[in-house]
Structures are given as structure tokens and as C-alpha cells.
């Protein structure tokens, strides 16, 4: 079936999407009952401890000390850099990101000037010539920047850092803001990975969330990206949006399979209007019922697995020859604030308003408002307003949680040797709790370690949560997204 025919007749099925009741055919052990049981809230573990544990006692001085320690130690591992570009031309009602909605593009000129100041501060403390192996531009909509502004930003970064030849250099793309010429410009700047925000192809859903973008537009851009030899194209989807039904989302799944991106990120919509003002424009009466959300998820899992995708974990799928799928097979997955990565565990320098970084055994976050962000930089100061210096217990639990989230396995001896603890004594309570998950086929335990099963991999956050000391005493989990 061609792309053109699929778009003319979106009800056509290009795959056999198994109903939720037949999930066991594709994913042994995963049942509708399990999907219902683990339809609970929990962290995504892009860090541990999670960002809600950051404190204001961690200041600019704390961050400067962490940078100096890296410089003195002569860290051999390359850096990862994240740049947050907050601007969007229009508001998406589902959005929970830190963004500024404006049609005044002159604002990006000023923002770029302040990014330059923040880069200069980092170079002052780290020195020039630090190697970076990963760059990600997120937002907001990074493609709000003009071609000239993106060129200026990349020039600033290349002037101060050395880009590793085999690195991952990615940018989030709003399909409504680019054409093939702009994609070619991104390629010429050095970007080798694209992430398109699709969310849903259904026109009624797009109208309900105020994000109209015809499917033909996305198909055309992905085809252009392939012609331009981008190494990987990702598509973001969301289930649980207003006006979605299992039937309408099945049509979107069929179109995504026909589109065949290298990677797919499938997120469950978390309706938290008390925290995110744009979501107040969404009527709760238009949201799908919990059972319909579970059906959408199970259908999506079946659709992508039937189409040959590898379930990487945590809502991420990749084609078998994609670097992410290969890293999973080889036990080389890593995780940072941008999600799963193939790059070695490394320090993350984050630039821009609200950006979160990691240096050594610390986390830091920049000011959340652009006015405060500018004010700090006008004073010649890092715009760090909170963060965390990890305790020994934090470091131990981070190592355990990341091993579970990335490798789906844990050898007790490796933790014991690294942190000089007796694992079974230190985590006696957690090991008891794991026995219930072992009984349901989520994990396999023995005297040397634990292994997350194929079934458990679909609920890996539930396994990791058992080792989260902060979550064990936290009764307010509703601020987190659902774990499936």
C-alpha cells in the first residue's frame, strides 16, 4: 500500500492489530489485567533522585564547584549538551513543557545573545576544546529559530567545543515550521537526527488539542529527511488525548507503521490542569475512559511489535538496525534527561531557561522564567536556582535504578564492589517486595542478582520504583505520569 492510498483511505489497515485480549500472542505474560494493575503514576527516571527533589540550597556556587572539580579531574568522558529553546508560535493544549507562546520572532535574537553568555561562563570554568558526543535542541520549538539563528547557535558551540565525529546531534522539529530546504539546512549544520512531534494524525484530535498538521505534511518531511541521509528519524505520539478513541488511534497507528520512522516515542497523556495551565482548555469530558486508554496502549504495542519494531523500553520503540535497538541488545543503553541514549554515561551541560543538567554527582536547574534567567546572566552569574548534591545512598540507588531501567538486569556484586555495601542487607526490604513481582513473572531472582523478564520490561518503571527511597514515603504520586 502506498502512502498516498493510505492517506486517501485512513481506515485501511496495513497491519494486523491484535485486540487487547490477545496480547499474550505478541508479548507472553502481558495481559489486560496487568495493564490495569500497573496503570499507576510514577517517575520516568531520567534522573535519580528525580527533579522534584531538587533544593534551593544548591546554588550557583555549588554548580561552579562541580564544574571546577570536573576540570581539575581532567574528565576523559565527552560531554553531552542540551539547549532549551522555549518559543512556540502557537499553543498546544496538552503541553506540559516550559515554553513561551509568541509570534514575535525578534525575541529569539535576544535569547540567542543570552545563550552566548551562558556558553562563555561554562567555557570560563571548563576551558575550551571540551569534546561533546551528544547535542540535543529541545523546547518549546527549536525550529522557531530562523536558519540564520540556528547557524549562529551552532557556530558558537563549534567555536567552543569539539564535536565528536560519531556523535548524536539531534533537534526536535515542529512539522509546521519546516520544509525540505530547512531540513537540508539542519543537515548542513551537523544535525544527524530529527524528532517530529506528531501526537496523532486524526483531524478531530488535532483540532481538540489545537495542533493542526496534515498527515501528508509529515509523510513528505520524513521522505525528505531520508533523501537527506539523516541517520535517524523519531516520531512522537500521545495516547489519551481528547476526542481519541481506540478506533481513531488504530488508524493513526496504521499510518505511523506505513511512515516507518526509525524510532517511535509513545507517551500517555497526563491530564494535570492544576499544574499546567494550557491543559485547562481541555474538557475532561472529551478525554477517553481509562479502559480505552489501556486498549490504545495494548493496540499500539501489538501494532509496532507486529511491524518489526524492538521495544526498547519506557514507551520507546526502534527498528532492529537502529543504534538504540542495537545498544539495547548489547547492554549499552544509557539514560539521561532526554531519555534513552546510546552514548556513554557522561556529564550533561544544559543551556537555556529551565534547563536541567548533571555534572559529577550533582544535578542543577536553571531559572524557570526568562526574566530571571536574563537577570542572572546580566549579573555575570550562572542562572542556576536549584539542584542537588547526591548523597552516598542516592548514588547507590541511582546505580541500581539505572541498571534496571537500561539493562533490565542487576548483579549484586557490581554494586557491592563499587559502593562497599552488602547488597542483601542494604536492600533487604526491597528484595522482599521484589518477591511479589517475581511471583507474577515480572522479574527473576537468584543469589547473584535480578533479571527483568520480557514481560517485566513493559513495566520496568514499577520494578525500579521499589528502590526509590523518596517514593517509598511519598503519598502524592499524582504529579507523575502513568508508568504505562
CB 130 within 8 A of CB 161: yes
Instruction: Please check whether residues 324 and 441 belong to one and the same domain.
Output: no
Q: Does residue 369 belong to any structural domain of this protein?
A: no
The region, left, alpha or beta by phi > 0 then psi within -120 to 50, assigned to residue 314 is left
CB 286 within 8 A of CB 243: yes
Q: Does residue 381 belong to any structural domain of this protein?
A: no
pLDDT digits (tens, 9 = 90+) for 409-422: 999 999 999 999 99
Q: Where are the beta strands (DSSP E) in 200-347?
A: 232-239, 263-268, 310-313, 316-318, 334-336, 339-341
Diameter of the chain by CA atoms?
A: 63
Q: Does residue 366 belong to any structural domain of this protein?
A: no
pLDDT digits (tens, 9 = 90+) for 25-84: 345 566 777 777 777 778 888 889 999 999 999 999 999 999 999 988 766 788 999 999
Q: Does residue 375 belong to any structural domain of this protein?
A: no
Instruction: Please check whether residues 399 and 413 belong to one and the same domain.
Output: yes
Instruction: Please check whether residues 37 and 72 belong to one and the same domain.
Output: no
Q: Does residue 238 belong to any structural domain of this protein?
A: yes
Last residue of a domain, one of 341, 356, 374: 341
Residue 345: pLDDT band (50, 70, 90) is confident
Highest mean pLDDT of the ranges 122-131, 252-261, 333-342 = 252-261
Instruction: Please check whether residues 121 and 140 belong to one and the same domain.
Output: yes
Give the range of the structural domain holding residue 430, as residue numbers without chain letter: 29-47+391-475
Q: Is the pTM of this model over 0.75?
A: yes
pLDDT digits (tens, 9 = 90+) for 157-212: 999 999 999 899 999 999 999 999 999 999 999 999 999 999 999 999 999 999 99
Instruction: Please check whether residues 157 and 35 belong to one and the same domain.
Output: no
- 384-388, 395-399, 471-475, range with the lowest pLDDT: 471-475
DSSP 8-state secondary structure symbol assigned to residue 289: P
Instruction: Please check whether residues 441 and 326 belong to one and the same domain.
Output: no
Q: What is the per-residue pLDDT for 128? A: 87
480 has pLDDT over 90: no
Give the helix, strand, coil percentages of the chain, each rounded to 5. 45, 20, 35
Question: What is the overall mean pLDDT for the chain?
Answer: 88
Instruction: Please check whether residues 274 and 191 belong to one and the same domain.
Output: yes
Instruction: Please check whether residues 329 and 403 belong to one and the same domain.
Output: no
3-state secondary structure of 410: strand
CATH assignment at residue 455:
1.10.10.920
CA atoms of 67 and 125, how far apart (whole Å):
6
Region 344-373: mean pLDDT is 94
pLDDT digits (tens, 9 = 90+) for 426-460: 999 999 999 988 988 899 999 999 999 988 888 88
Domain count, the chain: 2
Q: Does residue 18 belong to any structural domain of this protein?
A: no
Region 328-353: mean pLDDT is 85
Closest CA to 218 of 260, 187, 169: 260
Instruction: Please check whether residues 236 and 262 belong to one and the same domain.
Output: yes
CA atoms of 120 and 438, how far apart (whole Å):
51
HSE (side-chain half, CA atoms, 13 Å) at 38: 23
Amino acid at each position: 500500500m502506498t502512502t498516498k492510498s493510505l492517506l486517501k483511505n485512513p481506515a485501511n489497515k496495513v497491519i494486523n492489530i491484535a485486540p487487547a485480549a490477545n496480547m499474550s500472542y505478541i508479548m507472553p505474560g502481558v495481559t489486560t489485567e496487568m495493564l490495569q494493575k500497573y496503570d499507576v503514576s510514577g517517575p520516568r527516571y531520567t534522573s535519580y533522585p528525580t527533579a522534584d527533589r531538587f533544593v534551593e540550597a544548591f546554588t550557583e556556587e555549588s554548580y561552579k564547584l562541580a564544574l571546577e572539580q570536573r576540570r581539575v579531574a581532567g574528565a576523559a568522558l565527552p560531554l553531552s549538551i542540551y539547549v532549551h529553546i522555549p518559543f512556540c508560535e502557537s499553543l498546544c493544549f496538552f503541553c506540559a513543557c516550559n515554553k513561551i507562546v509568541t509570534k514575535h520572532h525578534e525575541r529569539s535574537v535576544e535569547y540567542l545573545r543570552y545563550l552566548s553568555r551562558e556558553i562563555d561562563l561554562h567555557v570560563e570554568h571548563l576551558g575550551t576544546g571540551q569534546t561533546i558526543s551528544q547535542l540535543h535542541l529541545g523546547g518549546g520549538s527549536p525550529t522557531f529559530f530562523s536558519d540564520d539563528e540556528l547557524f549562529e547557535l551552532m557556530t558558537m558551540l563549534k567555536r567552543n567545543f569539539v564535536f565528536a565525529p560519531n556523535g548524536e546531534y539531534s533537534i526536535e522539529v515542529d512539522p509546521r515550521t519546516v520544509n525540505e530546504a530547512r531540513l537540508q539546512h539542519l543537515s548542513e549544520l551537523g544535525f544527524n537526527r530529527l524528532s517530529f512531534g506528531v501526537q496523532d494524525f486524526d483531524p478531530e484530535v488535532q483540532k481538540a488539542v489545537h495542533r493542526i498538521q496534515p498527515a501528508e505534511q509529515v509523510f513528505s518531511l520524513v521522505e525528505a529527511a531520508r533523501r537527506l541521509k539523516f541517520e535517524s528519524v523519531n516520531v512522537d505520539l500521545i495516547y489519551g488525548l481528547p476526542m481519541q478513541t481506540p478506533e481513531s488511534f488504530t488508524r493513526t497507528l496504521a499510518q505511523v507503521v506505513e511512515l516507518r520512522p526509525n524510532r517511535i516515542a509513545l507517551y500517555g497523556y497526563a491530564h494535570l490542569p492544576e499544574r499546567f495551565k494550557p491543559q485547562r482548555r481541555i474538557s475532561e469530558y472529551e478525554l477517553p475512559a481509562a479502559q480505552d486508554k489501556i486498549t490504545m496502549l495494548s493496540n499500539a504495542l501489538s501494532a509496532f511489535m507486529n511491524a518489526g519494531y524492538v521495544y526498547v523500553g519506557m514507551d520507546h520503540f526502534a527498528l532492529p538496525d537502529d543504534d538504540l535497538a542495537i545498544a539495547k541488545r548489547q547492554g549499552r543503553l544509557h539514560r539521561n534527561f532526554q531519555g534513552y541514549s546510546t552514548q556513554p554515561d557522561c556529564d550533561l551541560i544544559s543551556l537555556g531557561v529551565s534547563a536541567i543538567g548533571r555534572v559529577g554527582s550533582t544535578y542543577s536547574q536553571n531559572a524557570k522564567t526568562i526574566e530571571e534567567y536574563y537577570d542572572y546572566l546580566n549579573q555575570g552569574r550562572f542562572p542556576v536556582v536549584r539542584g542537588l548534591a547526591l548523597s552516598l545512598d542516592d548514588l547507590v540507588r541511582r546505580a541500581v535504578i539505572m541498571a534496571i531501567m537500561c539493562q533490565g538486569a542487576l548483579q549484586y556484586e557490581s554494586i557491592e564492589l563499587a559502593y562497599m555495601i552488602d547488597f542483601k542487607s542494604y536492600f533487604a526490604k526491597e528484595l522482599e517486595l521484589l518477591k511479589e513481582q517475581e511471583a507474577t513473572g515480572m522479574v527473576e531472582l537468584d543469589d547473584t542478582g535480578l533479571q527483568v523478564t520480557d514481560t517485566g520490561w513493559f513495566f520496568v518503571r514499577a520494578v525500579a520504583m521499589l528502590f526509590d527511597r523518596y517514593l517509598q514515603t511519598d503519598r502524592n504520586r499524582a504529579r507523575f505520569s502513568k508508568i504505562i
